């Protein structure tokens, strides 16, 4: 189970909210006004923290489905790093797969935040929504790491293979065919040509 600091915070806030409700119902609080204020405070904090926790798990679940699709491995999974882990990661990678745990695609918190932004942007704006460059890159990272899960560790080959999956991966995240194609095209034109050495090659040579 994916338990982080935010999970503990949500549980603590839930306990405090329930406690405040019980005190009000039983009229055991010395100052009823303060008890009501406490209930409102804990409730607001619980909803806020709970929303972020739900977003984390939802995006992680969708990323797992997309990784299984693009890798062909039904046992694959994607793991979104918590924000605290991101702060301690000084690398410039947006995701990675370890050789000793090839079935797990590990995505940075910033990558998953961009994925969440894409998902919730679609919910809010519908078919009119178009992925930002950061969101298109994040969707491609899911495709790219899925190729490592599938066993391809040559970065250039993995990039070429991932480009072929970008539309399907975006659709897995809820994009319409037009939105998915627009996101894939944006990555191909605005991000792919500027990747570091070893990532860009003539994809027509990759079977």
Under 8 Å between Cβ of 55 and 113: no
Alpha-carbon torsion, ordered 106, 145, 182, 178, to 10 deg = -90
pLDDT of residue 138: 98
**With pLDDT > 70 as the criterion, what percentage of the chain qualifies?**
88
Q: Given this model, what pLDDT does residue 90 score?
A: 63
pLDDT digits (tens, 9 = 90+) for 95-107: 999 999 999 999 9
Residue closest to 4 by CA, chosen among 49, 63, 48: 49
With cut-offs at 50, 70 and 90, classify the pLDDT of residue 21. Answer: confident
Mean pLDDT of the chain, nearest integer: 88
Looking at per-residue confidence, does 42 or 146 come out higher?
Answer: 146
Does this model's pTM top 0.85? My answer is: no
Say what the pLDDT of residue 126 is: 63
Q: What's the average model confidence in pLDDT over 136-146?
A: 98
Helices (H) and strands (E) counted in the chain, each on its own, are 8, 3
pLDDT for 35 equals: 72
Cβ neighbours for 108, distance < 8 A, ≥ 6 positions apart: 81, 86, 89, 93, 94, 95
């Amino acid at each position: 189970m994916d338990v982080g600091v935010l999970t503990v915070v949500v549980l603590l806030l839930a306990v405090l909210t329930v406690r405040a409700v019980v005190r009000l119902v039983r009229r055991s609080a010395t100052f009823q006004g303060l008890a009501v204020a406490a209930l409102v405070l804990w409730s607001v904090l619980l909803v806020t923290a709970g929303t972020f926790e739900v977003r984390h798990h939802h995006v992680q679940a969708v990323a797992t489905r997309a990784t299984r699709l693009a890798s062909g491995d039904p046992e694959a999974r994607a793991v979104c790093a918590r924000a605290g882990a991101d702060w301690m990661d000084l690398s410039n990678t947006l995701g990675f797969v370890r050789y000793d745990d090839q079935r797990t695609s590990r995505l940075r918190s910033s990558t998953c935040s961009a994925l969440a932004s894409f998902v919730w942007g679609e919910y809010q704006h519908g078919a009119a929504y178009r992925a930002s460059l950061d969101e298109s890159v994040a969707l491609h990272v899911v495709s790219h790491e899925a190729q490592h899960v599938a066993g391809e560790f040559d970065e250039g080959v993995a990039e070429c293979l991932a480009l072929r999956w970008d539309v399907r991966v975006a659709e897995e995240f809820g994009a319409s065919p037009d939105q998915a194609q627009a996101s894939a095209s944006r990555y191909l034109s605005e991000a792919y040509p500027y990747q570091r050495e070893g990532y860009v090659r003539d994809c027509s040579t990759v079977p």
